[in-house]
Amino acid sequence: MFASCCIFAAMSATSDSSFMLGAREGFAAFLPFSVGLVPWALVMGMAMTSTGFSPLEAMGMNIIVFAGTAQLGTLPLIAAEAPLWLIVVTALALNLRFVIFSAAIAPGFRGVGLPARWLSGHLLTDGVFATCVDRMQHVDDPRWRLGYYLAPSLWSWLLWQSFTLLGIYAAAIVPKSWSLEFMATIALIVLLVPMARIRPMLVAALVGGGSATLLRNLPLRLGVVVAIVLGIAAGFAAEHVEHRRKQQ
Amino acid sequence: MNDVSLWLIFILIGLATTLPRASFIVLGNRVALPATLQRALRYAPAAALAAIVAPDLLLVGDSVDVLNAKLGGGIAAVLAALWSRNPWLPFIVGMAVLLGLRQFGA
């Protein structure tokens, strides 16, 4: 309810043509990637149902949290009645990458009002970040930028809520052997491939992916956070090496 | 577990999600990251996406297995994304290879 009120407020406050132009372009850029959300949301609905949540509780979590990784990561802890602090620390560790994403995309929100920034922050996801971060740095008009960001964000939100709801009720119907959740992995690959065409980015991806695999047994899933930091350091180092080689 | 504490858990996880996400978007220009750090942060999305994808493709249970169907499907999706501009192709090829390999027992 709260989120949909915010959505309407944000839409009506900025529903001029440059907002809509940005919105159309952002939506078109994001649409193919959003396919990956569908199986991911279905799996989320099924997982919450099998943890023992009622449909109301499951949709409550889905609307309040709105984060697949943090939801799936904390479900086993909730089911095991783990202490509250451990659940919160785990969620924070899983979400630490968003601080980095938020800092990287923040310049794209210059000239945008505070309520729209809070809404945008709440709606920040991996796919929307990857779609918008670069494009938003290179456009002057703040309304165009907000449209370019909010259209894919709101589309993600709507898809996510609808298909989680479907997943809650379809938990028993879709055969597990279809492995539909793999489409979420493919969606992440589709985002990653064009980035990794630049050599230092490829180094960052290889080190990040390799370390996350090797560090999988670190407590509280901190391995993912450590791997991201190592990947960033490796990419930055590779950029310096390449730069020095060009100078020689 | 009683119902009240379950909703409290949801709200706390929600805060642990929205606050990191909104952090710099909301603070904006009042807090500026140093230029060097900003340049380094450009590598964050590639590192993070790979950190989520790689374990998913390489691990079966808790051990690394380089001959599993998910890795086959993942490689097929990478090749499709490299060589075609059709945005749907990686999904079709990746799922086909995954299910094909599972079917024929690779």
- Inspect the interface and report whether the beta carbons of B99 and A120 lie closer than 8 Å: no
Interface probe for A, chosen from B21, B75, B95 (most Cβ of A below 10 Å), is B21
How close A111 gets to chain B, by Cα (Å)? 10
State whether residue B89 sits within 8 Å of chain A by CB: no
- Given the cut 0.85, state whether the ipTM is greater than it: no
Segment B21-50 mean pLDDT: 83
How close B96 gets to chain A, by Cα (Å)? 11
* Chain A residues within an 8 Å CB radius of B43: 200-201, 204, 231-232, 234-236
Nearest to A182 among B39, B70, B88 (CB): B70
User: Residue A97 corresponds to which amino acid?
Assistant: R
Q: What is the pLDDT of residue B2?
A: 59
Where do the domains of chain A lie?
A: 2-181, 196-248
DSSP assignment of chain A equals -HHHHHHHHHHHHT-SHHHHHHHHHHHHHHHHHHTTHHHHHHHHHHHHHHHT--HHHHHHHHHHH--HHHHHHHHHHHHTT--HHHHHHHHHHHHHHHHHHHHHHGGGGTT--HHHHHHHHHT--HHHHHHHHHHHHT---HHHHHHHHHHHHHHHHHHHHHHHHHHHHHTTTS-GGG-TTHHHHHHHHHHHHHHTTSHHHHHHHHHHHHHHHHTTTSGGGHHHHHHHHHHHHHHHHHHHHHHHHHH-
Residue of A nearest to B55 (CA): A213
Segment A171-189 mean pLDDT: 75
Which two structure tokens, joined as six digits, stand for A148? 């370019």
Whether A219 shows a pLDDT value over 80: the answer reads no
Whether A231 shows a pLDDT value over 60: the answer reads yes
Segment B57-82 mean pLDDT: 93
Segment A218-229 mean pLDDT: 80
Whether B4 shows a pLDDT value over 60: the answer reads yes
- Inspect the interface and report whether the beta carbons of A186 and B77 lie closer than 8 Å: yes
- Inspect the interface and report whether the beta carbons of A102 and B53 lie closer than 8 Å: no
DSSP assignment of B88-106 equals THHHHHHHHHHHHHHHTT-
Higher pLDDT, A152 or A93: A152
State whether residue B96 sits within 8 Å of chain A by CB: no
Mean model confidence pLDDT for chain B: 88
Q: What is the pLDDT of residue A220?
A: 61
Q: Are B27 and A203 within 8 A, CB to CB?
A: no
Tell me the pLDDT band of A70, cut-offs 50, 70 and 90: confident
Higher pLDDT, B72 or A83: B72
